[in-house]
Chain A
Amino acid sequence: MSVLRPLDKLPSLNTATILLVGTEDALLQQLADSMLKEDCASELKVHLAKSLPLPSSVNRPRIDLIVFVVNLHSKYSLQNTEESLHHVDASFFLGKVCFLATGAGRESHCSIHRHTVVRLAHSYQSPLLYCDLEVEGFRATMAQRLVRMLQICAGHVPGVSALNLLSLLRSSEGPSLEDM
């Protein structure tokens, strides 16, 4: 299957799966380790991918949340993300996709302007999170946040759904239509 769809598989009992897509393997691995260290009522599964489409030969569970990790130091990761976004079904963008920009702390190393990523997240109507994944403390905090978001997207938190969360995150910054 070349396009990821959110509801084409049945969910497994008490399991939440997150897919991290990005070119920086080391950072993704560290983030995955931090997430697995968090204690959480549901069972967590973290999948890592360099780009989409995912190979269809592997049997994988239903993916609840996709996080695209963009490294502001390299244009290559931005291009990779843009190409991978074509392989995600539109119904995923109802709260089950999130963008994570890393590397904003070291301004002198940045080769992508911050506003490029802001515009990308805005055009896909998805939240954008900033985190310097190289710093241990920030990574642990971001892992906590992602685990919480994942639980909501998998439906394990009663009363809150992914779409609910999306509208909550968006109301604090609503760009006016003339800007876009």
Chain B
Amino acid sequence: MDSYDASESTPRQSTSSRPEDYFIGATFLQKRLESVRKQTSFIPTPPRRKIPHCSQLQEDVDPQKVAFLLHKQWTLYSLTPLYKFSYCNLKEYSRLLNAFIVAEKQKGLAVEVGEDLNIKVIFSTLLGIKGTQKDPEAFLVQGLTLSPRLECSGTILVYCNLLGSSDPSTLAFQVAGTTGACHYTRILSKSQLPSENREGKVLWTGWFCCIFGDSVLETVSEDFTCLPLFLANGAESNTAIIGTWFQKTFDCYFSPLAINAFNLSWMAAMWTACKMDHYVATTEFLWSVPCSPQSLDISYAIHPEDAKALWDSVHKTPGEVTQEEVDLFMDCLYSHFHRHFKIHLSATRLIRVSTSVASAHTDGKIKILCHKYLIGVLAYLTELAVFQIE
């Protein structure tokens, strides 16, 4: 249809300065809107996607800076646009969120035995994690451990008064903080004094990004910031508290992003198609066979060069991946398995795909291994998140 080809081509023109840019076809929402306007029923043509090119990382991103994003297991969430979020107020947001976390802890709602919820939150922007110039900047929220001195500062003074004689050169405080039991003291050395530069250990990380989110950016008004993809690493309770604060402050909504088997097979095909200098991991698939009394898992590991050779034999159109090629690639793997084991893998459910570029699990967990294709992987995930929001 000519009309939505025209709407597809306008976002392209804004990125024409980088001709090798990775782009994805029009989302279902765009096509649906077109067909509703024409009052025709909607049967889409099979999607075509471009293979990510390794030159995607923008020049101003330092590989060392994004190195902490790699090799970590991230849980995915999709996020509706944030209302009245501004990049200038990041310090203010840190302060508010810290106050909120302290308040939540005092309420005693998120109590887990042995769980240390003393985190201090810092907001910072992540430069360069974006697809086009129109995408909003990604930002990062890190939860660092608090030093114990800061937390108990109130009780120390009280305790010194109770003791009567206190040596100003040493510190004395009781870790448990209960009043009345003042006969037990612990004297610590001066080196426990806090310093401004002391970095706490990172307990929790979460980052928001948007790669090629053109379809969502066009539909929202100026007050909203669209960062549909949220990745979190760390304790679930921290994610819940921080998520609640964001939902209250910016009127947005988080929902966990699950990846279904259809999208996992697309990811497998696209990541196998990426050109790599050396392979760090074998290409592995995991299927779950539902059978009583307990389900069976089938794991299929392929040497990455063989997987690439198979992909090259299937791949026809240069620079683009079509639905037929993905189906053919997966069918080749299924028929090979069937020939040896007489099991129809197509009747089972794909739950995990792992290649040298990245690995993804159907519950919405992802681990990115290669910094060259970081943008490409995030672009596909953004597309899934946008689709879930819509």
Residues of A within 8 A of B (CB): 23, 73-77, 79, 107-113, 115, 118-119, 122, 173-176, 178-180
Determine if B41 is an interface residue (Cβ-Cβ < 8 Å).
yes
Chain B residues, CB < 8 A from A110: 260-262
Seen from chain B, the residues whose Cβ lies within 8 Å of a Cβ on chain A are: 1, 38, 40-45, 258-262, 265, 330, 334, 344, 346-350, 362
Instruction: Report 14 cross-chain contacts, Cβ distance below 8 Å, ordered by A residue.
Output: A73-B349, A74-B347, A76-B344, A76-B346, A107-B258, A107-B260, A108-B259, A112-B262, A115-B43, A175-B41, A175-B42, A176-B40, A179-B43, A179-B45
Check if A174 sits within 8 Å of B41, measured CB to CB.
yes
B265 touches A111 (CB 8 A): yes
- Whether the pair A23, B347 counts as a contact (CB closer than 8 A) is yes
Contacts of A75 in B (CB 8 A): 330, 334, 346-347
Given contacts A108-B260, A111-B262, A119-B43, contact A178 B1 (CB under 8 A): yes
Q: Which residues of A contact B330 (CB under 8 A)?
A: 75
Q: Is the CB of B43 within 8 A of A111?
A: no
Contacts of A113 in B (CB 8 A): 262
State how many angstroms separate the Cβ of A27 from the closest Cβ of chain B: 12
Chain B residues near A118 (CB, 8 Å)? 43
Q: Given the complex, which residues of A lie within 8 Å of B259, measured CB to CB?
A: 108
Shortest distance from the beta carbon of A111 to any chain B beta carbon, whole Å: 4
Residue contact A115 to B258, C-beta cutoff 8 Å? no
A179-B261 in contact given A74-B346, A74-B348, A109-B349 (Cβ < 8 Å):
no
Question: Which residues of the partner chain B approach A79 to less than 8 Å between Cβ atoms?
Answer: 346
CB distance from B206 to the nearest CB of A (A): 22
Task: Chain B residues near A77: list those with CB within 8 A.
Answer: 347
Q: In the assembled complex, which residues on chain A have CB atoms less than 8 Å from the CB atom of B347?
A: 23, 74-77
Select A175's contact among B40, B349, B350, beta carbons within 8 Å: B40
User: Given the complex of chains A and B, what is the CA–CA distance between A175 and B43 in angstroms?
Assistant: 7
Q: Which residue of B lies closest to A77 (CB)?
A: B347
**Which single residue of chain A is at the shortest CB-CB distance from B345?**
A76
B290's closest neighbor in chain A, by CB? A73
Residue of A with least CB distance to B347:
A76
Nearest-neighbour CB distance to chain A for B310, whole angstroms, equals 18
How far apart are A23's CB and chain B's nearest CB, in angstroms?
7
When the two chains form their complex, are residues A108 and B362 in contact, meaning their CB atoms are under 8 A apart?
yes
Nearest to B327 among chain A residues (CB) is A75
Q: How far, in whole Å, are A118 and B43 apart by their CA atoms in the complex?
A: 7
* Separation of A173 and B38 alpha carbons in the complex (Å): 13
> Given A74-B347, A76-B344, A179-B1 in contact, is the A111-B261 Cβ separation under 8 Å?
yes
Task: List residues of chain A with CB within 8 A of the CB of B362.
Answer: 108
Chain B residues whose CB sits within 8 angstroms of the CB of A23 once the complex forms: 347
Q: Complex formed: what's the CA distance from A115 to B46 in Å?
A: 9
Knowing A74-B347, A111-B262, say if A173 contacts B1 (CB, 8 Å): no
A76-B344, A178-B1, A179-B1 given as contacts; is B40 within 8 A of A111 (CB)?
Answer: no
Query: Given A108-B259, A174-B41, A179-B40, 5 more contacts at CB 8 Å?
Result: A23-B347, A107-B258, A109-B349, A111-B349, A122-B43
- Distance (Å) between the CB of B286 and the closest chain A CB? 14
Q: How far is the CB of A73 from chain B (nearest CB, A)?
A: 6
Q: Which of chain B's residues has its CB closest to A113's CB? A: B262
- B5 CB → nearest A CB, Å: 12
Chain B nearest CB from A174 CB (Å) reads: 6
Please, how many angstroms separate the alpha-carbon atoms of A150 and B161 in the complex? Answer: 90
Report the separation of the CA atoms of residues A47 and B260 in the bound assembly, to the nearest whole angstrom. 33
| Contact assessment for A180 and B41 in the assembled complex, using a CB-CB cutoff below 8 Å | no
Residues of B within 8 A of A173 (CB): 41
Residues of B within 8 A of A119 (CB): 43
- Select from chain A the residue with minimum beta-carbon distance to B261: A111
Closest to A78 in B: B346
Name the residue in A79, A107, A179 with the highest tally of chain B Cβ atoms < 10 Å from its Cβ: A179
Q: Which residues of B contact A115 (CB under 8 A)?
A: 43-44
Tell me the complex Cα distance, A136–B44, Å.
Answer: 32
Once the chains bind, are B258 and A108 in contact (CB under 8 Å)? yes
Say how far B332's CB is from chain A's closest CB, in angstroms: 13
Nearest 4 pairs of A and B residues by beta carbon: A111-B261, A76-B347, A75-B346, A76-B346
Q: How far, in whole Å, are A109 and B348 apart by their CA atoms in the complex?
A: 10
Q: Which residues of A contact B1 (CB under 8 A)?
A: 178-179
User: A178 to B262, alpha carbons, bound, how many Å?
Assistant: 26
Residues of B within 8 A of A107 (CB): 258, 260
Query: Least Cβ distance of A101 to chain B in Å?
Result: 14
Q: Which residues of B contact A178 (CB under 8 A)?
A: 1
Chain A contacts for B258, CB-based, 8 A: 107-108
Which of the listed residues A73, A111, A178 has the most CB atoms from chain B within 10 Å of its own CB? A111
The smallest C-beta distance from B380 to any residue of chain A, in angstroms, reads 15
